[in-house]
Structure 1
Amino acid sequence: MAEWLYEDGVGEARAALVADDRIVAARIELPDTLRVGTVARARLTERMVATLDDGREVMLDRAPPGVTLGAALTVEVVREAIPEPGRAKRARARASDAAPAPGPDLLARIAATGHPVRHLRAHEADALEAAGWSEVLEEASGGEIAFAGGMLRLSPTPAMTLFDVDGDMAGEALAVRAATAAALAIRRHGIGGSIGIDFPTVTGKAARQAVAAAIDAALPPPFERTAVNGFGFLQIVRPRPRASLPERLRDDPVGAAARAALRLIERTPVSAPARFRLPDAVRARIEATPAWIGAIVRRTGRAPIFDR
């Protein structure tokens, strides 16, 4: 039976849905995220922009009727901020009559799926790693996803997330396997919005239908897709309430590496030396974040020492 593994980590919350000892879905949430479902007071500062009381800006899905510039209103977040090269897409919101309240956090969301949730502790065996946590993070940050007979190359872009298929098998067989692998990766990494898959040339209607059927069988709804066109391209559109795992890790690779290092530091046995050698940028980020150091000291009872 599938279950969620959940860690309240230093600098991030982590969760993985695990079935048959492998990760089906991996999620990371940062503590300062303006979450979907958050209802907050704001002021209309542009026709389609509201500024929350804490200073963060949200894009409105439509101009609120009867609200003039500078007037107060209440908004509900319907999409979290999406990191992109240059400037992130601001969170999206709509006017609301609801009472201000925070949106559900990662733990609440996974609990609502109906799958059991197991809380992991640092002194226990590393169930996340046993299920392939590091491999999933490497897929997200590096973009290479191996499957039997081939390789997917994942590339998030501002317009869409692209998968390119490569392999040595015959065209149709490779495309069908790649379709299944891409669908599983989309779910594993929480990829939404517009998604394109560039398959090797697939000739014949039956072959193209087999590729599309493989997507339908492996990717849970809701989603819409096109057929495979004559150039081997298929497009999928899924809801995009928040950033995917690749977008999250690639937006701040040093921060992601620092939080991963903190996870290993927290799991280091007390009997082992508390000295660690990290890349300079990662060490500097940790040392520049007193809240992380304080959390590690509280959780482990000792301060880490970083060799230079």
Structure 2
Amino acid sequence: MPEWLIEEGIGERRALLIEGDEVLAAKLRWPGELAAGDEFEGRLLRKNGARGLAEHPSGREVLVDRLPRDTSEGASYRFAVARAAMTERGRFKLPAARPANEASPIAEDVFETGIPVRRLPSGSWEEVWHAASSGEIGFAGGSLLFSVTPAMTLIDIDGDLPPRELALAAVPEIARWLPLFDLGGSIGIDFPTLKAKLERKAVDAALEEALADWPHERTAMNGFGFVQIVARLEGPSLLHRFAISRVGLAARMALRRAEMVEGPGATLLTVHPALKAKLKPEWLAELERRSARPVRIEIDPGLAIEAAAAQIVGHDD
């Protein structure tokens, strides 16, 4: 049976759904985030019909809807988070919640029910992380290019196979990476244009089969090869995080690399200058506690942001 494995990283928690040697899905959470399913007692600040604004006990504001008629501004109510906060290019979307008794069922919180492990299987998180960083997935004869926009996540399919073969070859890769990137909301897929209706139906059937276990709604392919998918949106996907917080993600990965090196001496972590400012003192203190080694930071403007390097050096080096 597939199992969720949870790695408690420095500055983030990582989760992979694994069956045998195969990684089926991934999730990422940062400390302090309100997650879908979290319940809280909040004060209703403003009300406009069934919608309004509530105050979380932390002081953060949360959008609320499905408010009963008898709710009053200034009173406190029990709410359940439906969607975590989302940052998109040019705007910040507050978390969204509903009265606890009106909330739609949320899937189990894998970070609470999963199996804690000291380290995820070798290379498994790195594969997902680097794929999300590049936004490009290659397959025999073609590639998928993922692009995050405020309206939807777009998937462009490119390759040198004939259009029908290229579209069908892309389907299993799309089905694989939607849960690996933890994607939700509106997703548009730009397949090669298929003029024959039977060819479009063949791709629709392949998509239906490949996504049978992934909850969603979907349009049929139109004459231009476009398919729209809508899935429950509970928070930022890995792609969204890279679009908005690339340096923060790279800083956390740098700490992970430093934590993984072994041996006596000191940890030398070499990073792009932009990363140094993101390495919080408490994170570095936690790295020293976990590794039982002092940590030194050096900067190298020639390094890519994602290419931090960690090694063990002598105390006097």
Q: What is the TM-score when the length of structure 1 is the normalising length?
A: 0.87
**Match of residue 180 from structure 1:** 172
**Within 5 A, what are the aligned runs for 1:1-308?**
2-19=2-19, 21-47=21-47, 48-96=52-100, 105-109=109-113, 111=114, 117=115, 119-121=116-118, 127-129=121-123, 131=124, 133-219=125-211, 220-271=213-264, 273-286=266-279, 289-308=280-299
Distance 1:96 1:282 in 2: 40
CA positional deviation for 1:305? 0.3
Distance 1:16 1:89 in 2: 26
CA positional deviation for 1:141? 2.2
CA positional deviation for 1:208? 0.9
Distance 2:190 2:101 in 1: 44
Distance 1:225 1:177 in 2: 19
**Match of residue 305 from structure 2:** none
Distance 1:104 1:200, change over 3 A: closer
Of the structure 1 ranges 87-96 and 162-171, higher mean CA displacement relative to structure 2 is found in 87-96
Distance 1:224 1:55 in 2: 36
SS in 1 for 2:179: helix
Of the structure 1 ranges 259-268 and 141-150, higher mean CA displacement relative to structure 2 is found in 141-150
Distance 1:168 1:108 in 2: 45
Q: What is the TM-score when the length of structure 2 is the normalising length?
A: 0.85
| 8 A Cα contact 2:4 2:110, kept in partner | no
Runs of 5+ consecutive residues of structure 1 not aligned to the other structure = 112-116
CA positional deviation for 1:81? 1.4
% same residue: 41
Distance 1:134 1:221, change over 3 A: closer
Counterpart of 1:205 in structure 2: which amino acid? K
| 8 A Cα contact 2:141 2:161, kept in partner | yes
Distance 1:295 1:11 in 2: 10
SS in 2 for 1:169: coil
Distance 1:97 1:162, change over 3 A: closer
Distance 1:272 1:121, change over 3 A: farther
RMSD: 2.1
Distance 1:184 1:276 in 2: 34
SS in 2 for 1:127: coil
Q: Which structure features the higher share of strand residues?
A: 2
Counterpart of 1:108 in structure 2: which amino acid? E
Distance 1:71 1:4, change over 3 A: closer
Distance 1:105 1:2 in 2: 15
| 8 A Cα contact 2:267 2:295, kept in partner | yes
Distance 1:34 1:170, change over 3 A: same
| 8 A Cα contact 1:40 1:76, kept in partner | yes
Counterpart of 1:176 in structure 2: which amino acid? L
